[in-house]
Amino acid sequence: MSIPRTIKQTATLIKKREVSPTELTDLFLERISVQDEKINSYITVWKKAAVEAALMAEKEISRGNYLGPLHGVPIALKDIFVTKNSRTTCGSKMLENFVAPYDSTVAEKLIASGSIILGKNNMDEFAMGSSNETSYFGPVKNPWDTDRVPGGSSGGSAAATAANLCIASVGTDTGGSIRQPGSLCGIVGMKPTYGRVSRFGMIAFASSLDQAGPLTKTVEDTAIILSSIAGHDPLDSTSVNLPTVDYASALSSDIKGLRVGIPKEYFVSGMDPEVEKSVREAIVELETLGAEIVEISLPHSRYAVSTYYIIAPSEASSNLARYDGVRYTYRCEEPESLRDLFFRSRSEGFGDEVKRRIMLGTYALSTGYYDAYYLKAQKVRTLIIRDFDRAWEEVDVIASATSPETAFRIGEKAEDPLKMYLSDILTIPCNIAGLPGISVPCGFSSEKLPIGLQIIGKPFDEQTVLNIAYAYEQSTKWYEKEVASLG
């Protein structure tokens, strides 16, 4: 039996009783056991739990208790969402053996929808990275070319989805960590508006920036997962109490009259010419579909990366202070004193990139430097938000490339953190302003590497973002391209 690619296809087969959840789960588990050693997209595979969940789904569906399009569908979770009775590592030695006593809200909602969770995907350590090379469990490889990175930090989720080692996955996006790997792996990745999806039980990196979202093969699948995980959660103080809709049912490919803004600052110097060509062709396609193209300016976007790398490390410094070797984290052997316990546990438990960002953040928050760095960064953040606010007076969405380049080779930027940080130059402003954004495939380079088109929308207007992406996707069919083989 061939494995279906999308949630929609899988749900149709399950409803028609042409395939059972147990058959599907067995197929995916077998495929993971054979293929994942080539890309390293999973940290933990839930063999027993997935089979048990599939049997339960099968029984419920046979009784007529069909829960919806995710019922019986095998998916995966980035290893940043805590899950009851199963370890959550966050890609770090610090949490290598951490088992939470509860489920994150995202995991809870997906389980309630009847999804079969196959396991937890590999990721950059504590979500800090743009290449998935910082994981304690080894780098993830791009299924289109295993010598290249899949993007990060949700690289394992993107690679597993692209390689059909799960139907879809849910990741997190702090500065582009869903959209950038989605672009580099040739799939759809969406960051909802900040506050649209609960962060409860999602291990924190930068609390004012982090947001969970889907990684799927089609826009419709993204809409299906978003409908499942979105909504107010009283356990998360940043969760917004606004109504959600069935995003998939409301999808429309009619975008006539919608105004698409093209920020001149987003076609940056140094952008890969093939990326620019594909994105400009995508913009022409949107115009052909009836959208009005409007050139706009987001002048303070040039400061977004600098702003992000003060705010995010500062919040990380605060959030990661809890990992002290005393409670539920890695603990060094035979500490000589309490100071030695703290020092060696954190030195041995954290990787280089995490240490780098903790030090950056601690410095920016320190006495005498807080006003010069953190406070100033927050003021620039306000200017970036105001740029977007002015843009919304002229346009309905904003379009650009997702990443200025295609997937680079593993190790290529390992010795140059600043060059690595610029990988997110086009995605970071969306997080700083808390806006919804999506990446949808828009072509391939001469080396047959995927290229992504980014659509950014107004706060809590995920539906318009999805509609624009859906119209483009259905018109161009780039999503039909599959990874031929893992090599």
- Catalytically active residues are 78, 153, 177
Do residues 226 and 219 touch, judged by C-beta distance below 8 A?
no
How far apart CA 60 and CA 41 sit, in angstroms, is: 30
How far apart CA 463 and CA 250 sit, in angstroms, is: 7
How far apart CA 189 and CA 168 sit, in angstroms, is: 10
How far apart CA 350 and CA 331 sit, in angstroms, is: 11
Query: What contacts 482, CB < 8 A, 6 or more positions away?
Result: 5, 164
**Beta bridge mates, 259:** 292
Which one, of 174, 266, 258, lies nearest residue 469 by Cα? 258
**Beta bridge mates, 441:** 452
Which one, of 297, 36, 336, lies nearest residue 159 by Cα? 36
**Beta bridge mates, 202:** 81
How far apart CA 386 and CA 367 sit, in angstroms, is: 29
How many helices (H) does the chain have, and how many strands (E)?
A: 15, 11
Structure tokens at 45: 């595979």
State whether residue 415 is helix, strand or coil.
coil
Which one, of 167, 164, 189, lies nearest residue 179 by Cα? 189
Degrees (nearest 5) of the Cα angle 151, 140, 450?
40
How far apart CA 193 and CA 436 sit, in angstroms, is: 4
How far apart CA 142 and CA 41 sit, in angstroms, is: 9
State whether residue 461 is helix, strand or coil.
coil
Which one, of 192, 167, 175, 204, lies nearest residue 321 by Cα? 204
